[in-house]
Amino acid sequence: MKRIKKSNFMMLVLVLILVIIAGCSTNGSKTEMKVESPKPNESTTVNLPEAASLRILTENSPSWPAKKDWAVWKWLKEKTNITILHETQTGPGSVALSIASGDMPDLYTVYLDEAQKYGAQGAFLDLSKYLDKMPNVKAFLDSRPDVAQRMTSPGGEKYQLLTDGAGAGNQTVWFYRDDILKKHSLNEPKTWEELYETAKKLKQLYPDSYPFVFRHGLNTLGAFGPSFGFYPSFFEDKDTGKIKYGVNDPAFKKMIEYLNKFYKEGLIPPDWLSMDYKVWTQFITTNKSFITIQYIPQIEIMNAQLQNGAHLKFMPPPLGAGSKGYIPNSNFEVTGFAVSSKTKNLDAVLRYLDFIYSKEGKDILSWGKEGETYTIENGKRKFMPQFKEVVDLAKEAGIITQGTYGLADANAVMSLRNENEQYSYNEAEKYKFPVTPVLPMLKAEEKAAITVDQEKVTKFYETSVAKFILGETPMTQWDAFISELNKLGVQKIIDTYQVGLDRVKAK
């Protein structure tokens, strides 16, 4: 290629300049082209709100003790310019002591009953009055009326913002030793009758075993009940929309008859009423029991302890009565944020809450940051090697721990679960009972009017049902038991909760 002579090059430049000048003129007059310098903080930096510090009091989990240097606090500071001063409870009475001391943190994570109790006493703010300043919170509650209903008092007050998205681990599910059943050519029991027959065969094969085991005593009846079409308590009936007492359902008697047979024939442990977690674990890991019902995370916790090919697998709930077996509808959270009525940092509190309920907050507080907690591989996020299990997210980074999130992305947690565990969670969704075991809130005077009756009913129910299962009271006395139980105020309790339910539906 020939070089352009310097004189020709200068001529070319001159021509280009003339062309540019001509192109910048209009009707023969020149138009000046302005090139503005970037304004300070424009696109190069992010304008953050005024810096603030907030104190928050939460429970302290022994599984992931709180750390001041959790990365989640750093991410929150980067996004909100708020420094969180994290305090943890020292015991069951910590919330009450904190309120009584007068030295209240700005924020608390509390259970619903605590929020209602102390909110009504003036310790917590009614957050319904501040939703206009929290558009992300408002959008969430508008999209989830079920959550909004659970946190709304009879008078319309909202003393708490419930967290959401991380409740899957609260589900109680059935699982079994699939290796044992396969070894002996036994099928998954589809009904309670098949459960009984399978347990008998396993007892014959393993005489020292108790094939069916559960560890929450009479409380486990609440997990059995949905397979028979009820909760053994007061609940909203899915067919009528009315409050019902499940113990009065004829299917409850059928369930107790089965449990009585299991007990008499040694198919459940003799200490089923008082069994603790340690003993339950020993039964599961030493070939003493093969079918159980427990919180869903326990499937893989136990699988990690089993050896020599032993393996646990999710089992669809066996049908007791009706058309389909169910598990309790418990995929929801029961704690959330309450705001101190004495806070001097209300604007920062509202800003913090609104961020953790935003899409951006949900994302970073569930996944963390690229390069710090995850990488992108084939267009998908993958947690870094130090996060091998779900608990590692909490222990190492504080992800999805109390006080650090409003909305959790369940996909983040699911990505760390193995194939068997993912199968369990996906299958559990198919068997949720149509209604939750959550009763409508009552006014203080309504609650006070039935407190004594509820205590009497509960005490008589627990002592009587235990005796039926243990065989100390014959099943021929069942009708007398139901009659006596109802005399203790069952209908009064039903009527009171019906008033509360009607009030909710009217809104």
Count of domains observed in the chain = 2
Residue 145 and residue 65 share a domain: yes
Residue 300 and residue 218 share a domain: yes
Tell me the CATH number at 429.
3.40.190.10
Q: Note whether residue 484 is domain-resident.
A: yes
Tokens describing residue 5: 């002579």
Residue 279 and residue 336 share a domain: no
Q: How does pLDDT run across 173-209, given as a tens digit for each residue?
A: 999 999 999 999 999 999 999 999 999 999 999 999 9
**Reported confidence tier of residue 35, pLDDT bands at 50, 70, 90:** very low
Q: Which of residues 317 and 49 earns the better pLDDT score?
A: 317
Residue 201 and residue 256 share a domain: yes
Residue 181 and residue 244 share a domain: yes
- pLDDT > 70: what percent of the chain? 91
Give the Cα separation of 10 and 154 in Å (integer): 85
Question: What value does the mean pLDDT take over residues 496-503?
Answer: 96
Question: What value does the mean pLDDT take over residues 96-105?
Answer: 97
Question: For residue 416, what pLDDT is reported?
Answer: 95
Model confidence at 42: pLDDT above 90 = no
Model confidence at 474: pLDDT above 60 = yes
Q: Note whether residue 58 is domain-resident.
A: yes
Could you tell me which residues are beta bridge partners of residue 319?
191
DSSP letter, residue 395:
I
**Burial class of residue 173 in the structure, from the number of CB atoms within 10 Å of its CB (0-12 exposed, 13-18 middle, 19+ buried):** buried
Q: Which of residues 22 and 470 earns the better pLDDT score?
A: 470
Q: How does pLDDT run across 347-365, given as a tens digit for each residue?
A: 999 999 999 999 999 999 9
List the alpha helices (DSSP H) in 342-472: 346-356, 359-367, 390-392, 410-414, 419-428, 444-470
Residue 263 and residue 144 share a domain: no
Residue 413 and residue 363 share a domain: no
Q: Note whether residue 132 is domain-resident.
A: yes
Question: What value does the mean pLDDT take over residues 253-259?
Answer: 98
234: left (phi over 0), alpha (psi -120 to 50) or beta: beta
Residue 269 and residue 241 share a domain: yes
The sign of the CA dihedral 43, 45, 46, 50 is: negative
Residue 74 and residue 190 share a domain: no
Model confidence at 258: pLDDT above 50 = yes
The chain-wide mean pLDDT, for the chain, equals 91
**Reported confidence tier of residue 14, pLDDT bands at 50, 70, 90:** very low
Domain around 452: 172-327+409-507
Residue 416 and residue 402 share a domain: no
Cβ–Cβ under 8 Å, residues 471 and 266: no
Residue 176 and residue 319 share a domain: yes
Residue 479 and residue 443 share a domain: yes
Q: Note whether residue 82 is domain-resident.
A: yes
Q: Note whether residue 356 is domain-resident.
A: yes
